[in-house]
Amino acid sequence: MKGRKLLMIPGPIEFEPEVLQAMGMATTSHVAPNFIEVFGHSLELMREVWKSPNCQPFIVAGTGTLAMDMAAANLIEEKDRVLVISSGYFGKRFKDILDRYGAKTTILEAPLGEVVPLEAIEKELKAKQYKALTITHVDTSTGILVDPKPIAKLAQKYNTISILDGVCSVAGEAINQDEWGLDVVLTGSQKAIGVPPGLALLMVSEKAMGV
């Protein structure tokens, strides 16, 4: 490893040697008892990381963008109203994904370096009935950290599904999905989770599963 360049980008991150060694293990069948046991254990570990014993975990081959797309594809139908709370590029990109599914999106954007005020969010939720709202927990493009807890409480108040883009935050920032009432919290494997790229990870509430 001597002389190897150090990767210093938001993600993929540098991975622990133990993780890389595990990647070199012999491949097993996806229906083998040992694989089923490991996969089930991984789902339970997700419940611990997300602080969400009551939600349904999903591990899917794909990227964090796929996780965003899955949330949109499974929860949003044509002409559904969705409120996008944006603090940078990835909030805007979530709007693009939702628009592709025919959603009627409204985007609330903060000035560069700021977050959207709670008052502005509640004003919009009062004005129209939204099926869902999206929050970017940490936007890579600006580095802005948003507090999702009060926004999730507003979503509950106005019977709106809350979707948290946690690609940059899950396992790196505090998230208590059940306590805060977040319906979907999604991420990719290659950032704070600390696993090489290739997995879309979602935790979905009973309410969102019903939808």
Q: Which residue has the tokens 């129209």?
A: 128
User: How confident is the model at residue 194, as a pLDDT?
Assistant: 94
Q: How far apart are the first and last CA of the chain?
A: 49
In a domain, 96, yes or no: yes
The total domain count for the chain is: 1
Q: Is residue 27 part of a domain?
A: yes
Examine residue 10 and state whether it is found in any structural domain, yes or no. no
CATH for 171: 3.40.640.10
Question: Does a structural domain hold residue 4?
Answer: no
User: Is residue 11 included in any domain, yes or no?
Assistant: no
- The residue whose two tokens read 């089923």 is 36
Torsion of CA 210, 94, 137, 134, to 10 degrees: -40
Is residue 173 domain-resident? yes
Q: What is the mean pLDDT of residues 125-147?
A: 97
Q: Read off the pLDDT band of 9 (50, 70, 90).
A: confident
**Residues above pLDDT 90, as percent of the chain:** 91
Write the pLDDT tens digit of every residue in 67-88.
999 999 999 999 999 999 999 9
Is 43 among the domain residues?
yes
- Separation of alpha carbons 188 and 11, rounded Å: 10
72 part of a folded domain = yes
CB-based contact 203:52 (threshold 8 Å)? yes
Q: What is the C-alpha to C-alpha distance for residues 79 and 199, in angstroms, rounded to an integer?
A: 30
**What does the H/E/C string look like for the chain?**
CCCCCCCCCCCCCCCCHHHHHHHCCCCCCCCCHHHHHHHHHHHHHHHHHCCCCCCEEEEEECCHHHHHHHHHHHHCCCCCEEEEEECCHHHHHHHHHHHHCCCEEEEEECCCCCCCCHHHHHHHHHHCCCCEEEEECEECCCCEECCHHHHHHHHHHCCCEEEEECCCCECCECCCHHHHCCCEEEEECCCCCCCCCCEEEEEECHHHHHC
Domain that holds residue 55: 17-210
Q: How confident is the model over 149-175, as pLDDT tens digits?
A: 999 999 999 999 999 999 999 999 999
Average pLDDT over the chain, rounded to an integer: 96
